[in-house]
Structure 1
Amino acid sequence: MVFGPASVTRAGQLARDLGFRRTLVVADPGIREAGHTGRLLDALTAVGIETFPFEGFGINPDSTMVAAGAAFAGPLHVDSIIGLGGGSSLDCAKGINFVLRNGGSIGDYRGYGKAATPLLPMIGIPTTAGTGSEAQSYAVIADAVTHMKMACGDPSAAVRIAILDPDLTLSAPRHVTAMAGYDAIAHAVESAVSSKRTPLSDTFAHQAWRLLSDCFERVLLYPADAEARSAMLLGAHFAGMAIEQSM
């Protein structure tokens, strides 16, 4: 995990160190409009990495969107994936990775460990302090027909590097900041009371709670508060790690 203001500018070097050469970048149109996609693409192209942006998905990505992403990426022969955005971007990126590497449909991977071929290496860059998807080896994807959500997990679905840049959260509208914060707090509480909790998940959950509860109201009142934004982003990540360790 790489954490701190402007850390997204390190994405190019970090990706190159992982051997990225042809990278699918999964980010929704709102992320592009905020300027975040451009900053990431600039960092990647500066070190010679070819980039292929995909934004054909929406909030709560479904199996059709994942299939579209895999169909887009297939002919490009990408060797890596970066998810940039909220939980929808990160989950869609992981979902695409499952289908791109193993074929079929995302529903085939419901559960854990059903990918016969390891997934492509990924970097996760959240732009909201919410789901903590960058800390988890699961993609949550809705079935396009039944609308039921499927948790599809695999050890190789975990990102190689999570880049936590609080500057990227500054552009989030107040209602997005609020809903994402509720999500992160819920994850911390759910993990803390889970029958599957462990000493490790408890450590992450309790630290997440301290960070989130101290700064949630503050970040809503003062959205440009860099310290509060940083605490919320780190807290959401810890909450995601707590969920990962207690599922």
Structure 2
Amino acid sequence: MEDVKLPNSTEGQLFVQYTTFKAAPEWRRLPAAAREDLREQFAQVVEEAYPSIVTYAYSTIGFKLNSDLLLWRKGTSPIAMQEMTSRLLQTGIGAYFEQTNLYFGFTRPSNYTKRPTTQEQAIDLEDREPYLIVYPFSKTKEWYLMSRDARQGMMNEHIRVGHEYADVRQVLLYTTGIDDHEFIVAYETDSLPRFEELVIALRSTEARRYTLNDTPIITGVNRPIREALAMI
């Protein structure tokens, strides 16, 4: 693929979507040659959407019972993303896929930091870490009824802990009012135990009191699209 630069998160909003797919049992009963042809149609749709929509593929086999494949996609148009999803579901393997999780939102500058950190600039990078962990979360009503200074103080602690794990990348999406959740957070890491340490540390901060929910959590392994499809 040619090198095409998407707008940076600091220059303009990106529309980002994380979608998981689960293959129907009938899929694995098809002849191997037939499945290979039907997978290729799906991969071609992913390639044809580039560079308007950039896609990273992850295998979730062995990590989630209701998911075989996770696609992380980013672009500037929700409409184009919807049209791409429709094309994917009309391909050979797409006809056997059920969408089991669908998270989306927009990037924008944080309310609590002056400038994005290296961790938070992962959305602008093209190289990917081996593991991706994605989950939605929402804050309680009490969080928003506090003063901005009170919230900033707690977030300063939260940010300080995060900076101690500078090797773990983060992408935060805002989805308040356009989906059931208020935020979608994704982390990239080369070590799941290291990421677990970060989560435990963050859950010990004061801001944790005001987390309403933060599940379901989806973990995937980064693989080229054809390799991820071949595992299904």
**TM-score, length of structure 2 as denominator length:** 0.23
Structure richer in strand, relative to its length: 2
With a CA cutoff of 8 Å and minimum separation of 6, indicate the structure with the bigger relative contact order.
Answer: 2
Please, what TM-score do these two structures have when normalized by structure 1? 0.22
Kindly name which structure, 1 or 2, has the bigger radius of gyration based on alpha carbons: 2
Q: Higher helix fraction: Structure 1 or Structure 2?
A: 1
